[in-house]
Chain A
Amino acid sequence: MDLSIFVGPLVGGLLVGVASALMLLGLGRIAGISGIFAGALWPAGGSDDDRRIDLSFLAGLLAGGLVLLWAMPSAFPTEWPRSLPMMAAAGFLVGFGTRLGCGCTSGHGVCGVSRLAPRSIVATVTFVATGMITVTLVRVLGGAA
């Protein structure tokens, strides 16, 4: 196998790790994006400061997106493998599921797994598995509908 395919992802992953470490060591928080997104959208019991930190992080995500758009436009796709109705269903399930399960690829997959938290390991194995099953079913059942 050509190992060079792992270089970009690994560099990206190290940056994701540095960003998450900054949140943890600087602010004593988990860089869990689904939780931060939900906290900004629907503050449930957090203080004003909590909400401002969530909003600052989200603003940073968008600023990073703008930097990529300018410096590395190839980071974004020009076409999508799925139809708009499928994207709508997908987004809803991601939003609902990450709240019910208390986290996503960042909070469970990176922050939780790296401290060997049993909940995060179970969640990560589960969502990767159902993601794989879903992709396989969509492919077998005929596509991008």
Chain B
Amino acid sequence: MKFAVAFVSGLVFALGLGIGGMLLPQKVLGFLDVLGAWDPALVGVMGGGIAVMAVAWRVFARLPRPLCESRVCVPDRNRPVDARLVLGAVIFGVGWGLGGYCPGPSIVSLVTLAPPVLVHAASMAVGVVAYHLVWRVAEAAKAASSDAAVADG
């Protein structure tokens, strides 16, 4: 049941992206081109999504638990803003403005087997793996330097 819910959610999500125009990089770039021939239409996608979800969060607050799952896996709303978050968003935005695809549309468009999408999605996977490798090295370096500090002390 859980997997069916996730599958249907993914399917409806993809239809929404397609009907909304988010699978057209030219349209996405037109939306981001505020100083050029700005096409504001895609405001509607985020607006529609936010409107439904604003209601869903209120309903969610009244549920004793999720309907098909025993535990909740939602991040704390009030986690602090940090430099990592902002830097990540800066980098993501540059990538979005370069290619016109955010992650969802890139994955959905894989079905076309068009080379630009295959290249984009494969590079996105490389970026995810690169992040995890860098993070692992950074954690190891942090552990090593705290060991060194203990040794020095």
Contacts and interface: CB of A to CB of B under 8 A. Distances in A.
Interface in A24-40: 24-31, 33-34, 37-38
Given A64-B15, A97-B91, A122-B81, A131 B96 contact: yes
Contact of A59 (B10, B77, B86, B93): B10
Contacts of A124: 89
Given A61-B104, A68-B108, A127 B92 contact: yes
B89 A127 contact: yes
Nearest to A54: B6
Interface centre among A7, A23, A56, A105 (most CB of B within 10 A): A105
A6 B103 CA distance: 22
Interface string B44-55: 111111111111
Interface residues of A, number: 108
Interface centre among B14, B80, B89, B102 (most CB of A within 10 A): B89
Contact of A12 (B16, B93, B96, B120): B16
A84 B10 contact: no
Interface string A1-36: 000011111111111111111111111111101100
A77 B26 contact: yes
A94 B101 contact: yes
User: Majority SS of interface residues in chain A?
Assistant: helix
Contacts of A116: 77
A9 B20 CA distance: 4
Given A15-B16, A15-B20, A82-B99, A66 B132 contact: no
B113 to A, nearest CB: 10
Chain B interface size, as a band, is 35 or more
B127 A81 contact: no
Contacts of B10: 19, 56-64
Interface centre among B15, B59, B114, B122 (most CB of A within 10 A): B15
A95 B128 CA distance: 5
B45 A91 contact: no
Interface in B62-97: 63, 65-69, 71-75, 77-81, 84-97
Task: For the complex of A and B, list the 4 residue pairs with the smallest distance between their C-beta atoms, beginning with the closest.
Answer: A12-B20, A101-B88, A13-B48, A60-B10
Interface of B: 2-26, 29, 32-36, 39-57, 59-60, 63, 65-69, 71-75, 77-81, 84-104, 106-112, 114-117, 119-132, 135
9 contacts: A28-B60, A81-B100, A91-B99, A91-B122, A93-B94, A131-B93, A131-B97, A133-B93, A134-B93
